């Protein structure tokens, strides 16, 4: 960081502050994680200098013989790890991975089915301000009121009624297993394309902790920075028959030059994800989420769907006298970072929301386990119950600082240099 400090002390200082925030506070946003120094080294490398429009062996620029090898390694690792027929590692983000699929299979005005945003769907599944809502006719499906599980009967009924070109299986705030075989059956019944968006759960999928959509889905999209713990970016995978249409949709259709430094970092993350340590890590992510859900329920919290099968817990605050936005703020003041989140059938608008979403991937990366989850659940409960008692909040944030010091993240290696 020496040259940055010299060239731009202002930005340098802010990055240092952010390092402190990540090191000494509890990061519990379900879509965040802490990537490895090896991933960051690749991402911060000189590969950022190279233009490589096109694909390995078919570039529009000279001098691509090294980056070709990198992209080929990333593709090969993605294909093997996810058990798919084809992978494109160029999408700059998860939303662009989804856009690539939509543009490959749909013309503007086409109809698709996606999870209702108010029930856990993602922005890129039909938000009215997003391209996904502006260009297409979106038919949302939701979860059942009685158990908060995806209403597969509703998906089938809507599919038969609207005959969509595509059905999307995937969500940002769904704590349960998604049944891709039912989605596959429904898609076949109405001759629709099935896309599985595993942005959140990809790490669980490659570790065998969540069923894989590779068999049932025509397309699988993911981010690489959530449970995958890689650099910020996306990957799209598909059956062979879609491969060339998909590739030309991404380049030249949607993007210019690929981010070769990020693709190198994706390759590194994919290698890490194939290790036994990574599977153990994901096992602990799920175990920690279950512990957190159980503890919060013991402390009197309502949990959407009554628990979790994956890396996240959705807390229903309707009987707690705080809304999601307030809870987010109270926890932030104590040193716990979460996000407000709509719960199914939420009476409040999304800006307030009646819930918070809590995830365990980041804290599990710094090796926190069952004991720490129990402690954190008790802090969450205490902070929310004593929101205006500054002494309580101060005591909790002191405890959090100590806990973080006992589970160092990057601090050991970096800051002392
Ligand atoms: C996070 C997420 C995305 C998009 O990720 P970005 O990289 O932020 O664009 C897409 N789909 C789902 C389900 C997600 O949770």
With a 6 A CB cut-off, is 200 part of the ligand 1 pocket?
Answer: yes
Helix, strand, coil distribution of the chain in percent, nearest 5: 50, 15, 35
What is the average pLDDT across 33-54?
97
With a 6 A CB cut-off, is 227 part of the ligand 1 pocket?
Answer: no
**Among 91, 92, 95, which residue has the most ligand 1 atoms within 8 Å of its CB, making it the best to mutate?**
95
Render pLDDT for 116-169 as a digit per residue (tens, 0 to 9). 999 999 999 999 999 999 999 999 999 999 999 999 999 999 999 999 999 999
The domains found in the chain, sorted by start residue, are 40-273 (3.40.640.10), 276-415 (3.90.1150.10)
The token duo for 58 is 């078919």
* pLDDT recorded at residue 416: 47
- Catalytic site residues? 51, 53, 197, 223, 226, 232
Relative to beta strand 302-303, strand 234-238 is: unpaired
* pLDDT recorded at residue 377: 98
Render pLDDT for 335-370 as a digit per residue (tens, 0 to 9). 999 999 999 999 999 999 999 999 999 999 999 999
pLDDT > 70: percent of the chain: 98
With a 6 A CB cut-off, is 132 part of the ligand 1 pocket?
Answer: no
Tell me the CA–centroid distance for residue 241 and ligand 1, in Å: 25
- Give residue 413's pLDDT band: very low, low, confident or very high (50, 70, 90): low
Atom of ligand 1 nearest to the CA of 232: 7
* pLDDT recorded at residue 412: 67
- Give residue 261's pLDDT band: very low, low, confident or very high (50, 70, 90): very high
With a 6 A CB cut-off, is 130 part of the ligand 1 pocket?
Answer: no
Render pLDDT for 84-123 as a digit per residue (tens, 0 to 9). 999 999 999 999 999 999 999 999 999 999 999 999 999 9
Render pLDDT for 368-390 as a digit per residue (tens, 0 to 9). 999 999 999 999 999 999 988 99
Whether the per-residue pLDDT at 415 is higher than 80: the answer is: no
* pLDDT recorded at residue 295: 98
Q: From CA 260, how far away is CA 130, in angstroms rounded?
A: 27
- Give residue 81's pLDDT band: very low, low, confident or very high (50, 70, 90): very high
What is the average pLDDT across 176-186?
98
**Among 122, 132, 342, which residue has the most ligand 1 atoms within 8 Å of its CB, making it the best to mutate?**
122
* pLDDT recorded at residue 2: 84
Atom of ligand 1 nearest to the CA of 234: 7
Cα dist from 198 to 62, 95, 121, 169, whole Å = 35, 12, 12, 8
Distance of CA 246 to the CA centre of its chain: 22
With a 6 A CB cut-off, is 357 part of the ligand 1 pocket?
Answer: no
pLDDT > 90: percent of the chain: 97
Whether the per-residue pLDDT at 279 is higher than 50: the answer is: yes
With a 6 A CB cut-off, is 122 part of the ligand 1 pocket?
Answer: yes
Cβ-proximal residues to 319 (8 Å cutoff; 6+ apart), any chain:
302
Report which protein residue has its CA nearest ligand 1's atom 3: 94
Surface-to-core class of residue 246, CB atoms within 10 Å of its CB (0-12 exposed, 13-18 middle, 19+ buried)? buried
- Give residue 1's pLDDT band: very low, low, confident or very high (50, 70, 90): low
């Amino acid at each position: 960081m020496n040259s940055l400090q010299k060239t731009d002390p202002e930005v340098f200082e802010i990055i240092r502050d952010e390092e402190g925030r990540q090191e000494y506070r509890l990061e519990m946003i379900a879509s965040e994680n802490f990537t490895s120094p090896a991933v960051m080294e690749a991402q911060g490398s000189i590969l950022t200098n190279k233009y490589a429009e096109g694909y390995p062996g078919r570039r529009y620029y000279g001098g691509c013989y090294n980056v070709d090898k990198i992209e080929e390694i990333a593709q090969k690792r993605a294909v093997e790890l996810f058990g798919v027929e084809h992978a494109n590692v160029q999408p700059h983000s998860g939303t662009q991975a989804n856009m690539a699929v939509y543009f490959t299979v749909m013309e503007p005005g086409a109809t698709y089915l996606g999870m209702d945003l108010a029930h856990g769907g993602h922005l890129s599944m039909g938000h009215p301000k997003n391209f996904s809502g502006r260009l297409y006719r979106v038919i949302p499906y939701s979860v059942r009121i009685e158990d908060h599980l995806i209403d597969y009967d509703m998906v089938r009924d809507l599919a038969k009624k609207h005959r969509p070109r595509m059905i999307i299986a995937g969500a940002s705030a769904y704590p349960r297993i998604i049944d891709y075989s039912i989605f596959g059956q429904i898609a076949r019944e109405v001759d629709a394309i099935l896309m599985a968006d595993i942005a959140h759960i990809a790490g669980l999928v490659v570790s065998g902790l969540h069923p894989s959509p590779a068999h049932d889905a025509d397309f699988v999209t993911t981010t690489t920075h959530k449970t995958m713990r890689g650099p910020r970016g996306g990957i799209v995978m598909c059956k062979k028959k879609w491969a060339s249409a998909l590739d030309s949709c991404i380049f030249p259709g949607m993007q210019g030059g690929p981010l070769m430094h990020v693709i190198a970092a994706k390759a590194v993350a994919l290698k890490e994800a194939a290790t036994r340590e990574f599977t153990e890590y994901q096992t602990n992510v799920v175990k920690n989420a279950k512990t957190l859900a159980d503890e919060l329920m013991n402390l009197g919290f309502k949990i959407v769907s009554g628990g979790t099968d994956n890396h996240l817990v959705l807390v229903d605050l309707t009987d707690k006298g705080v809304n999601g936005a307030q809870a987010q703020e109270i926890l932030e003041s104590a040193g716990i970072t979460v996000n407000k989140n709509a719960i199914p059938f939420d009476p409040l608008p999304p800006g307030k929301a009646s819930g918070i979403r809590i995830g365990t991937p980041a804290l599990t990366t710094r090796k926190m386990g069952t004991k720490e989850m129990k402690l954190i659940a008790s802090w969450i409960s205490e902070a929310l119950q004593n929101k205006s008692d500054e002494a309580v909040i101060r005591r909790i944030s002191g405890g959090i600082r100590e806990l973080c010091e006992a589970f160092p993240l990057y601090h050991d290696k970096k800051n002392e240099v």
